[in-house]
Amino acid sequence: MKGKNKTPHYAVRLVVLILIGGFTFFVGLRFFVPEGSKLTGSYDAESLLYIASAPVEYAGSKSCGNTNCHESLFKTWSEGAHGAKEEQSKCETCHGPQGKHPEKDSKLPKVRGDGNVVELCLTCHRKMKARSTTGQPQITPQEHPYPHEGVLICTQCHNPHSPGFNKPVSSSVSSPDTAIDPKAKSTTTDGSSGGESKGASLASSCFSCHGPKGRGGFAPVLAGQPYEALKNKLIKFRSGELKGTMMNPVASKIKDEEIDALAHYFSGIK
């Protein structure tokens, strides 16, 4: 610092420091730009591969049908009300995500979530003001022909894989699991022949409450009751003379000859 108009030393040092610091910082930053960002000019394209590599949890219904494991169930489903229409309830709608099922768990979970089958069905089938009335059948549990919420579960009368009316599938109250077993269905419908077989096949829908062969359910025992008593009671239930039980809506659909067959069947059991 000789001339009086010269810049002081400290100012020169400061400027040099600023230049070095600034240069290092901005050039240093360039080293950290990811390759993918250089290409796109903004985001890191590398992330696409990462996002695309996420595991698939929901495998889709087709993958169940394409294997040899669930062919018959898949066939039942694809021909029934849940699978035949364009609006399908998929396998995983009720069973939960099964993308890892074939490799990881050997056992297929019964239903998604907490396992409450009635609530699962009501997820879609409960009648609500906001639900359009077209499409799937909707019920109010308290008014359903079989008002059995908390007592019975849906799958005892309806096959979840091919639901519909008049397709009783179960002969057991205690084990609803058999409901989804197609073999259980065949054993109940097979049996004796003639008038008695008609009574037997009709009676199978009674078993869910009155117990197999009319004995052992939570509802009154039917087996071995007098023919006349059974017949009169059913007629009175149908006409509404006897009131206040769940038999009213049930009996309202039974024809005369069916009453006869049922009374014959139950009175014939020893």
Partner 1 sequence: MDKRNIFPISADSKVTHELEPRELGTCEKERRKFISQVLGGSLMLMALPTLASTLFKQGMSEAEKQRIKKEYLEKYCPPGYDPFAHQWAYGIDAYKCIGCNQCMTACKLENGLPGHPSINNRWIERYTKLAGDPHVHVDSCTEPANIAVSDPDNFIYRFDDRYAEADVEYSFFVPKMCNHCADPVCTQVCPKGATFQTPDGAVLVDEDRCIGCLYCKQACPYGARYLRPIPARPDGVTRVAGKCTWCWHRITKGQEPACVDICPKKALIFGDLNDPNSDISLWFKEHGRELLVLKGDMGTHPSVKYIGINEEVR
Partner 2 sequence: MEPIHVSSFVGYVYPNETVIAWTILIAVYPYLTGLVAGASSVSVLYTGSGLKEFKPVSRLALLAAFAFMLTVPIVLLSHLGHPERALGAMITPNFSSAFSMFGYFAMLYSFILFLEIWFEFRVYNVLQARKSSGIKRLFYRTLTLFDDNISTEAQAFDHKWLRRIVIFSILGAHGLHGYVGFVFSSLKSREWWSSELTIVIFVISAVVSGIAVVMLMYLVVSAFRKSKVEEDCLRGLCFYLMIFAVFTLFLEGVEFVSLLYKAKEGIDLILEYVTGPMFYRFFVVQFFLGAIVPLMILFWIWKFKPSGKKLIIATSVVSVLALIQVFMMRYNVVIGGQEISKTMRGYLEYQVPIFGIEGALAATGAIIFSLCLTYVLAKVFTIGFEDENIVDDSESYSTSNTAEET
Identify any residues that bridge with 139 across adjacent strands, giving them in sequence order.
126
Q: Beta-strand (E) ranges in the chain?
A: none
Total number of residues shown for the chain: 270
Contacts of residue 259, defined as CB under 8 A and 6 or more positions apart, other chains included, come to 231, 234, 235, 238
Q: Based on the shown chain and the rule CB under 8 A, indicate whether residue 17 belongs to the binding site for partner 2.
A: yes
Which segment (111-119, 212-220, 244-252, 259-267) binds partner 1 by CB under 8 A?
111-119
Site string for partner 1, 149-178 (x = CB under 8 A): ------------------------------
Q: Which two tokens stand for residue 161?
A: 């894989």
In whole angstroms, give the CA distance from residue 62 to residue 58: 11
Q: How many CA atoms lie within 13 A of 115 on its CB side?
A: 5
3, 8, 55, 244: which one binds partner 1 (CB under 8 A): 55
Q: Does 137 bind partner 2 (CB under 8 A)?
A: no
8 A C-beta contact, residue 168 and residue 202? no
Query: Is the Cβ of residue 9 or residue 129 nearer to partner 2 in the bound state?
Result: 9
Residue 137 in the binding site for partner 1 (CB under 8 A): no
What does the binding site for partner 2 look like in residue numbers (CB under 8 A)? 1-2, 4, 7-11, 13-14, 17, 29, 32-34, 37, 42, 44
Q: Give the residues lining the site for partner 1 (CB under 8 A).
A: 34, 36-37, 39-40, 42-58, 60, 86-90, 92-93, 96-97, 112-114, 119, 123-124, 126, 128-132, 135-136, 140
